Structures are given as structure tokens and as C-alpha cells.
């Protein structure tokens, strides 16, 4: 109302209806949401779904604008968490990998061959270990709201099938985020090189790197095979959960009703995206194979060989993640 009065005093001569529109839009609030991948991928679709549900639930009073492709952090996805904490970004649907430099506990999900299947993922995220992870995020100034999923990450390369650690020998592999990835690929005899997703695609195209690791949804939607990645190994070496989260000050400035809308719609969008990602896996694999990619599946013995070769990485990282969290996750996995 102050605004309308102010405008009429200014003699702008607006009609009553126009004034009303202005007053309403002055009350409505829009939050920025960062994602690394666009809505060509389940990840970006998760954020768009969140926006859609919130707009509906709040009758347009509280809305989200999604900024994909890490554009709010100039392509540097490992700065997303800090940018959200400092208030440069209001909210994000982000990967545990990209936030792990600021939240070491998130390295739990990147431990090689530790969380073997989706039942184990759910046992961890939905139980006590998941609560501990959310507390770790909260203690660093961000309010976590819900889980999503980018999927199990698989390794691809341009030179030949990988079914044993030796096959990775000397291969230059593009890795993400945390130094944990350097350790894993070094333990396997590869030559890991860290770079953002923005830089990864040109590096694959020019052959500056031989390989990369990403879930099937990313490999398929980004057509990674078309930049020479002809060999793909399904080794499910780690799952990459997504987390819906919001800056603490922004959260505190919302009414209780708005907080409920935001949390509930994040949970709904997350559950929707997790089942979609999982359901699409087999059709994505079929599409990838149809495009001529050689897909390698591991026998139990081959899987064990990778597991053993990376055991020292788990030992090195467990203390950084925290023994209590490690134990809680391990017992959730064992009891699944
Ligand atoms: O950079 C990647 O590989 C991606 C898109 O999967 C993440 O942001 C973790």
C-alpha cells in the first residue's frame, strides 16, 4: 500500500488495477536457485520441479528462479556452497561432490566402492547418517531441505575397455571437486586431473583427457560418446546424491508458512527426481549402447579387485569424514 500511495502521490496516473498489480508484485518474493546442470538433465529438472511446485503451493507469493550451468559462480561449481553461504545465491540443488570442499562429511558419498547400491543409498540418506550429514551442512550456515540424486557414477574413456585397475594405467581422467577423487584415481594407477564440468567438455573433445566419470543420465543427455568416449564401464563406484538447500539468513527471513512450503516442495521434487533418475537408467543404457558405445559390466571378482585397490583411500579419508558418521553409515549399509 505504501508503494501505491507513493506512486499516486508521484502523479503517475496509473489505473487502480495497475496499482494493485504493482503492490502485489512488490510483496511476492523470488529466490535464486543455482544448479550445475540444466533441465536437459534430471538434476536441472529437479530444480524446475521445485520451482513449479512452490509457485503453485504459494499461489505465486514465493517463487524460485533457476540459474543452471553454474552461471552464478562463473562455471566454478566448487564455489557454489560458499556463494550460497555468503548470500550471493539464495538456494541451490547441488551435488555432494561439489560441496565437499566446504563440508568434508559429504566425502562419505564419494568414497570408492563404499555405498554399493540404491538400497544402501536410501539406508544412509534416510537414516541417522543422513541426519548427521544434514547437521554438518547446517553447522556451516546452510539449511538443507531434501535429497535428490544424480546417480551412480560410471567411468568412460576413449582408448579401450576397463575391467581391471591395470586398464586405467596412465589414463588421463578428468575428475571433479574434492581431492578424494585424485586419491581414488591415483590408487588405480590413472593420471587424474581436476577440472570443472564447463572445462571438461572441451578437454574431452580435444583429447586433452582420455576419460571421465559421470552417471548414465549425464553421459546420455550430454552425448559424451560423441566426444570420443567409446568405452563405458558400469562399476557403480559411488553414488552422487543431490541436496536441496537454502541460505540460513534467507531461511530465517521467511514466515513459518513459507518455510513449510519451501521444505515440502523440495521434498516432493526430490522424491520425484530420485525415482525418475532410477527408472530411466535402463533406457539410457540401451540408448548409449545403440549409439555404439562398448559397455563393460564387472564380474564380482573384478569388482572386488577395484575395491581392494582403493581400500587405502577409505582408510585415509575416514578420519576427515568422521569416525562416528562412518560407523553410522556402515551399519545402515549392513542392515539394509
Ligand atoms: O562435474 C560433474 O561431473 C557433475 C556435473 O557430475 C557434477 O557437478 C558433480
When the pLDDT of each residue in the chain is averaged and rounded to a whole number, the result is 94
Q: Whose CA is nearest to atom 5 of ligand 1?
A: 197
Mutate to test the pocket of ligand 1, among 37, 72, 237 (most ligand atoms within 8 A of CB): 37
CA of 303 to the centre of ligand 1 (A): 23
Closest by CA position to 236, among listed 216, 210, 211 = 216
Residue nearest to atom 1 of ligand 1 (CA): 197
Residues in contact with 19: Cβ distance below 8 Å, sequence separation at least 6, in sequence order: 4, 7, 8
From 70, 92, 97, mutation site for ligand 1 pocket: most ligand atoms within 8 A of C-beta:
97
| pLDDT average, residue stretch 63-88 | 97
1 within some domain? no
Q: Report if residue 182 sits inside a domain.
A: yes
Q: Is the pLDDT of residue 230 over 50?
A: yes
CATH number, position 102: 3.40.190.170
Q: What percent of the chain has pLDDT over 70?
A: 92
How remote is the CA of residue 78 from the centroid of ligand 1, in Å?
10
Residue 174 resides in a domain: yes
Residue 22 lies in a domain: no
Q: What value does the mean pLDDT take over residues 224-230?
A: 97
pLDDT in tens, 249-305: 999 999 999 999 999 999 999 999 999 999 999 999 999 999 999 999 999 999 999
Ligand 1 atom with least separation from CA of 215: 6
CB contact set of 7 (below 8 Å; sequence gap of 6+): 14, 19, 22
For a mutational test of ligand 1's pocket, the pick from 41, 95, 229, i.e. the residue with the most ligand atoms closer than 8 A to its C-beta, is 95
- The tally of domains found in the chain comes to 1
pLDDT-derived band of residue 93, with 50, 70 and 90 as boundaries?
Answer: very high
Answer whether residue 12 is part of any domain: no
255 CA from centroid of ligand 1 (Å): 34
Q: How many CB atoms lie within 10 A of CB 18?
A: 13
Q: Is residue 18 part of a domain?
A: no
- Which of ligand 1's atoms lies nearest the C-alpha of 197? 1
C-alpha to C-alpha distance for 254 and 249, rounded to whole angstroms? 9
Pocket around ligand 1: residues whose beta carbon is below 6 Å from it? 36-37, 77, 95, 97-98, 150, 176, 197, 214, 218, 240
Out of 43, 73, 77, give the residue to mutate to test ligand 1, the one with the largest number of ligand atoms within 8 Å of its CB. Answer: 77
Domain that holds residue 100: 29-334
Q: What is the dihedral of CA 53, 56, 62, 64, to 10 degrees?
A: 40
Q: Which helix (H) or strand (E) holds 288?
A: helix 256-290
**pLDDT score of 5:** 46
Cell reading at 208: 586433452
List, in order, residues 6 or more apart from 60 with CB less than 8 Å away: 28
Cβ neighbours around 193 below 10 Å, total: 18
pTM: 0.92
CA 214 to each of CA 75, 91, 131: distance values in angstroms, whole numbers, following the listed order: 17, 24, 26
Q: Whose CA is nearest to atom 6 of ligand 1?
A: 214
Locate all alpha helices (DSSP H) within 1-108, ordered by sequence.
2-9, 16-27, 42-57, 80-85, 96-99
Report the phi/psi class of residue 138: left, alpha or beta, with left for phi > 0 and alpha for psi in -120 to 50: alpha
| CA pair distance 54, 58, nearest whole angstrom | 6
Greater confidence (12 vs 195) lies with 195
Measured from the Cα of 212, ligand 1's closest atom is 3
Give mean pLDDT, residues 137-160: 98
Instruction: Find out whether 76 and 70 touch, Cβ atoms under 8 Å.
Output: yes
Q: How far is ligand 1, taken at its centre, from the CA of residue 159, in Å?
A: 22
Cα 242 from chain centroid (whole Å) = 4
| 277 within domain boundaries | yes
Cα(41)–Cα(241) distance, integer angstroms? 14
Amino acid at each position: 500500500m505504501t508503494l501505491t500511495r507513493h506512486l499516486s502521490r508521484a502523479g503517475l496516473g496509473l489505473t487502480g488495477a495497475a496499482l494493485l498489480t504493482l503492490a502485489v508484485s512488490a510483496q511476492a518474493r523470488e529466490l535464486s536457485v543455482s544448479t550445475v546442470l540444466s533441465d536437459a538433465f534430471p538434476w536441472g529438472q529437479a530444480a524446475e520441479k521445485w520451482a513449479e511446485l512452490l509457485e503453485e503451493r504459494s499461489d505465486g507469493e514465493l517463487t524460485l528462479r533457476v540459474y543452471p550451468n553454474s552461471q552464478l559462480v562463473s562455471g566454478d561449481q566448487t564455489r557454489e556452497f560458499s556463494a550460497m553461504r555468503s548470500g550471493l545465491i539464495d538456494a541451490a540443488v547441488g551435488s555432494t561432490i561439489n560441496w565437499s570442499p566446504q563440508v568434508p562429511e559429504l566425502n562419505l558419498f564419494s568414497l570408492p566402492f563404499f555405498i554399493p547400491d540404491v538400497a544402501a543409498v536410501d539406508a544412509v540418506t534416510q537414516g541417522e547418517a543422513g541426519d548427521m550429514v544434514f547437521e554438518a551442512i547446517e553447522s556451516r550456515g546452510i539449511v538443507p531441505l531434501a535429497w535428490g540424486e544424480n546417480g551412480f557414477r560410471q567411468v568412460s574413456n576413449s582408448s579401450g575397455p576397463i575391467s581391471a585397475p591395470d586398464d586405467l594405467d596412465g589414463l588421463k581422467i578428468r575428475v571433479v571437486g574434492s581431492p578424494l577423487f585424485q586419491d581414488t584415481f591415483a590408487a588405480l594407477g590413472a593420471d587424474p586431473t581436476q577440472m570443472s564440468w564447463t572445462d571438461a567438455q572441451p578437454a574431452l573433445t580435444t583429447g586433452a583427457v582420455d576419460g571421465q566419470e559421470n552417471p548414465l543420465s549425464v553421459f546420455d543427455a550430454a552425448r559424451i560418446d560423441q566426444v570420443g568416449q567409446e568405452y563405458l564401464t558400469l562399476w557403480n563406484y559411488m553414488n552422487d546424491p543431490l541436496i536441496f538447500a537454502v541460505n540460513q539468513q534467507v531461511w530465517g527471513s521467511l514466515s513459518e508458512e513459507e518455510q513449510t512450503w519451501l521444505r515440502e516442495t523440495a521434498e516432493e521434487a526430490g522424491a520425484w527426481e530420485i525415482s525418475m533418475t532410477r527408472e530411466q537408467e535402463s533406457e539410457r543404457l540401451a540408448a548409449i549402447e545403440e549409439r555404439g558405445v562398448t559397455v563393460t559390466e564387472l564380474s564380482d571378482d573384478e569388482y572386488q579387485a577395484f575395491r581392494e585397490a582403493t581400500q587405502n583411500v577409505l582408510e585415509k579419508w575416514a578420519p576427515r569424514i568422521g569416525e562416528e558418521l562412518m560407523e553410522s553409515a556402515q551399519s545402515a549399509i549392513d542392515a539394509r
